[in-house]
Chains A and B, each alone.
Chain A
Amino acid sequence: EVQLVVSGGDLVQPGGSLRLSCATSGFTFSDHYIDWVRQAPGRGLEWLGLTRNKANSYTTVYAASVEGRFTISRDESKSSVYLQMSSLKTEDTAVYFCARSQTASPINYWGQGTLVTVSS
């Protein structure tokens, strides 16, 4: 069974940093892209970025809104993907999802999400 389990959500002050984890299982980790998507309270979905698969050297792409502040990385030994967030703003408050996709293919599996609250 494909699973993506997101953890690490917390209350953080503006300007602070936080790292989210996405632990995966049930599929070949190196074959798939992993996307990060967020949803602010009562709002729609916002795609944040992705890490490509091993065949594409695990390269990353980011949405313009977070490029330079957010960094996606992988640990193949743990089948995990991380979202490092820095210089956090109140508008970064959201539920953060990780999800699985593939080259030029849609997201087909989602984790449950974790809440990040940026507030003083």
Chain B
Amino acid sequence: DIVMTQSPDSLAVSLGERATINCRSSQSVLANSNNKNYLTWYQQKPGQPPKLLISWASTRESGVPDRFSGSGSGTDFTLTISSLQAEDVAVYYCQQYYTTRRTFGQGTKVEIK
């Protein structure tokens, strides 16, 4: 199975500042057939199911604020929150869907400094 490793495990950022979360996969999730990265980012708030933020490593879902962006390719990916808002406090997970056994990263907790 592909192992997904996120860093850091947690971070505290001041309101309005940038938050950066990294995700590394143990093997490439880039498909040569269509040049797409099978990598998604979810946001989970306490007591709620995860919410899909970004798919294909960099495609923001409808309704997701543009302060959220995804980048990277192959094995190294980044989720950036350009200007942290209070409502962004949550745990963020990456997940690969390159293989049918879709594995998650361990999560990164984002808090306000």
Contact = CB atoms under 8 A, between A and B. Distances in A.
Given A104-B38, A111-B49, A44 B55 contact: no
Dominant secondary structure of chain A at its interface with chain B:
strand
A15 to B, nearest CB: 26
Given A44-B93, A104-B38, A106-B55, A112 B104 contact: no
A46 interface: yes
Of the four ranges (under 10, 10 to 19, 20 to 34, 35 or more), the interface on chain A belongs to 20 to 34
Contacts, number: 58
Dominant secondary structure of chain B at its interface with chain A:
loop
Interface in A35-84: 35, 37, 44-47, 50, 61-64
B69 interface: no
Interface residues of B, number: 23
B103 interface: yes
A11 interface: no
Given A44-B105, A45-B93, A45-B95, 14 more contacts: A45-B104, A47-B101, A47-B103, A50-B102, A61-B101, A62-B101, A64-B1, A101-B102, A105-B55, A106-B52, A107-B40, A107-B42, A108-B55, A111-B49
Interface of A: 35, 37, 44-47, 50, 61-64, 97, 99, 101, 104-108, 110-113
